[in-house]
Amino acid sequence: MQRIFLLLFVLLSIACKETSKEELTAQEIVDKSIAASGGVLYNDHGTSFIFRDKEYVSRNENGKRVFKRISRLDSVTITDVKKDTGFERYMNDSLVAVPDSMAVKYANSINSVHYFVRLPFGLNDAAVNKELLGKESVGGKEYYKIKVTFDQQGGGDDFEDTYLYWFDTESFKPDYLAYDFHVDGGGQRFRKAYNERYVDSIRFVDYENYKPKTKDSDILEIAKLYDKGELELLSKIEIMDIKVRND
């Protein structure tokens, strides 16, 4: 009889643990992911890294996050600066005028690079809407699948894009992400994280960047296409010379 009660107790304990995992919300999963990837260090630490021969810098200035992209061409250093107040370009130390249309393009490009490098931190921005779609197996491993959309107010020029993230059900780290986009004819991308490393307790990864081999596929089904070998590898997104400093 005691063995029966013990067995029932063990089964109930397992069931409770599984139920607890199922009851996690999208917000709780993202919070756990941020904690596992650097947590509060994102707020008070700046970073710099090299991506495609350009230096990218993020830092706090007067309590606001500022993103920079620095290009060095012979004797000329071009520094592009994206702030909440807008975009600025400097040639060496001189501020130069940039047409509004190009300023928007440059600012979006800088923001995009920093956004992906700082993931999953940006998933708690005010304009982000998160929806847990359940669990999905990718590459033979189980993940929480979360859909992300953006409010028009504060969501940037690409607020209509849809993002998907796959979070490891044990570590809560985002191993895969995907998104659709509508500029330049539109399309879809799927990224697989690799080369994970921590620099001063902040997580950084590189990505394999894929696209579907056929058009008009459903973004919600893109992980299944990946498992079936129906995605084409476009490029590898690699960051180098990472530095972290206390702002």
Q: Where exactly are the structural domains of the chain?
A: 27-246
Please calculate the CA angle 147-144-45 and round it to the nearest 5 degrees. 75
As a whole number of angstroms, the distance between CA 125 and CA 72 comes to 32
- pLDDT value of residue 8: 44
- pLDDT value of residue 66: 94
- pLDDT value of residue 10: 42
Q: For residue 80, what are the β-bridge partners? A: 69, 89
Averaged over 59-78, what is the pLDDT? Answer: 90
Cα 100 to the chain's mean position, in Å? Answer: 27
Averaged over 212-225, what is the pLDDT? Answer: 93
For the ranges 13-17, 36-40, 183-187, the maximum mean pLDDT occurs at 36-40
- pLDDT value of residue 158: 54
- pLDDT value of residue 5: 42
**In angstroms, what CA-CA distances link 156 with 43, 63, 124, 152?**
21, 21, 15, 7
As a whole number of angstroms, the distance between CA 204 and CA 157 comes to 26
Task: Extract the tokens encoding 6.
Answer: 């013990």
Q: What is the dihedral of CA 129, 157, 56, 145, to 10 degrees?
A: 30
Averaged over 87-110, what is the pLDDT? Answer: 94
As a whole number of angstroms, the distance between CA 210 and CA 230 comes to 10
Task: Note the CATH number of domain 27-246.
Answer: 2.50.20
- pLDDT value of residue 224: 97
- pLDDT value of residue 187: 87
